[in-house]
Structure 1
Amino acid sequence: MTGTVSDAVTDGAAAAERQLRRLRHDPSAIALTLGAPVVLVVIFGYIFGSAIAVPGSGNYRQFLLPGLLATVGVNVLPSMIAMARDSTRGVVDRFRSLPITRLAVPFGQAAATTIYGLGSFVLMCLCGLAVGWRIERGAGYALAALALVAAFQFATTWIGMYLGLVIGNEEAAAQASVLVFPVTMLSNVFVPTSGMPAWLRAIADWNPVSALAAALRQLFGNPTAPTNGTWPLEHPVVASVGWLALLLAIFVPLCSARYARG
């Protein structure tokens, strides 16, 4: 049993190292990682910010930045496209033929994507600090926010990998990425949900992205949106942990089975 666990850890670490090397030599991925945080902060913080009201007459950038940071934790696109690319090029079949544990490659990709995502998180924090965003609570809460985003990134990466395996084509995966965008928009990331129609607000309030954004606002001490009497927004940290546990419980087995089956 000890050998099996040790082999799984070793294989997973090797797969993660491979994925990190590949990402490091991918100019488009590096450009997206470095450029996206700056673009998002500028567009929403400066262009749209003056037109959006924040509850309690708060500063919109203080409200916005935790929401943008939440988008880092729910970004399924890199893992979806990467897994679809590996399927198209036969990489998945080659790995499947090797004497390594079944979970090694998906786990390694999830770990590498999480590490890479933390780079976006840190860069977005620096951009936010440059435009006036401030962390109002202590370092312990900020580290808790970082850990929560990393855990969410790890969980949602399994969703992306599963979708990439199901789609099985890099071009189709890139086109399907437009379907992910509404999940982020239908939340409290950019605006409070209180102005939405009741039926739409109910969906947005129970969106895991809304819980994560609200949790980050709470941990950073930034302005929060009205809870609308909804449990996930009243207890966002607990709800976020519950959501990521549920996502892992569903998509780790699904992704592993799909990867093993081919």
Structure 2
Amino acid sequence: MSAIGWAVSDTVSLTRRETMHWLRQPFAVIVGLLFPVLFFLMFGYLLGGGMTVPGGGGYRDALIPGMFAMTMMFGVEATMTAMGADAAKGVTDRFRSMPMSAVAVVAGRCCADLIQSALGLLVLVACAAVSGWRWQDGLAGALAAFGLLLWLRFAMLWIGVFLGLMIKGPQGTATVQILVYPLAFLSNVFAAPESMPAWLGALAEWNPLSATAAAARDLFGGPGFGGDSFAASHPLLLALLWPLVLTAVFLPLSVRKYRGLSR
């Protein structure tokens, strides 16, 4: 079998290994799937009553695509924690001692987490549908929006893998988890960047999360926060480019870091 064939075979095996762990930890899986639903209910119903959307439209219709995007970003924590746990328990070292592809170890984790993220997105879409949300521009636009959301998640996976291999101990993991929240909230998910101070609004507009959220709103045909800047006017372009850049940076870094781990 060729090197590529071995890498694909090893990736499938390790993906199966990770998914089998879900059967042994059903509570953790259920909590992970329902956590975004809790955020949606909290911001959509408890805090969203007093929010308005520039240009008209319901706030909840603008919030839901942003919540989809934020769920994809929050997944970086689970990937980082799982990689760190495997490294701490010696599982990663055992894999490295076996004749298997170095890419397959990190790719298997990414594939399994991507499957779980797709399931979480499906649960959140079902919850939004129950609340009355519908996409307005047809199935093709909706599928494109879901593709962009998973594309962002794919990039976040490689960041999580790299951080999981870099950071040692639970304290470092907790620090990164705390930092994820400001990055997620410094976006256009909950409020229009134009309502923020100029410097803060600029940071929010150029946030990769904001690009995916704005592009998803456009593709779903729902209301958005708009804006006159380049980032606000070209969300689809940035939603494609940001994950590509992040993947191009962190995928090779993750593989290199894995290969450089001490035996």
TM-score range for the pair, normalised by the shorter chain length: over 0.9
Instruction: Return the TM-score normalized by structure 1.
Output: 0.95
- Equivalent residue runs for 1:44-63 within 5 Å: 44-63=43-62
Between the aligned residues of both structures, percent identity stands at 38
Please, which moves more after superposition, 196-205 or 52-61?
Answer: 52-61
Aligned partner of 1:119 in structure 2 is: 119
CA distance in 2, matches of 1:232, 1:96: 42
Partner Cα separation in structure 2 for residue 28 and residue 79 of structure 1: 17
Name the counterpart of 1:130. 130
Cα displacement string for residues 164-220 of structure 1 (whole angstroms, at most 9, x for unaligned residues): 111132453134301111110000011111110001111111000000100110110
Aligned residue type for 1:66: P
**Amino acid of the residue matched to residue 177 of structure 1?**
Q
Residue equivalent to 1:211: 211
For 2:195 and 2:151, the matched residues in 1 are separated by: 30
Mapped to 1, the partners of 2:176 and 2:155 lie a distance apart of: 20
Moved over 6 A (4+): none
What one-letter code is carried by the residue in structure 2 that aligns with 1:209?
L
**1:41 corresponding residue in structure 2:** 40
Counterparts of 1:63 and 1:243, CA distance in 2? 21
> For residues 231 and 80 of structure 1, what CA distance do their matches in structure 2 show?
32
TM-score, length-scaled by structure 2:
0.95
Question: 2:102 is paired with a residue of what secondary structure?
Answer: coil
**Amino acid of the residue matched to residue 197 of structure 1?**
P
Q: Is the 8 A contact 1:63 1:217 kept in 2?
A: yes
What RMSD, in angstroms, separates the aligned Cα atoms of the two structures? 1.4
Deviations 1:85-126 (A, max 9, x none): 111111111111111011001001111111100111111111
The 8 Å contact of residues 55 and 225 in structure 1, kept in 2 or not, is answered as yes
Instruction: For 1:86-165, list aligned pairs within 5 A.
Output: 86-165=86-165
Deviations, residues 12-54 of structure 1 (Å, cap 9, x unaligned): 1111111111134223431223321321121011001112111
Report which stretch shifted further, 246-255 or 73-82. 73-82
In the alignment, what sits opposite 1:195?
A: 195
Contact residue 72 and residue 149 of structure 1 kept, 8 A:
no
Note if 1:4 corresponds to 2:7.
no
Consecutive unaligned residues of structure 1, counting only runs of 5 or more, are none
Counting matched residue pairs gives 260
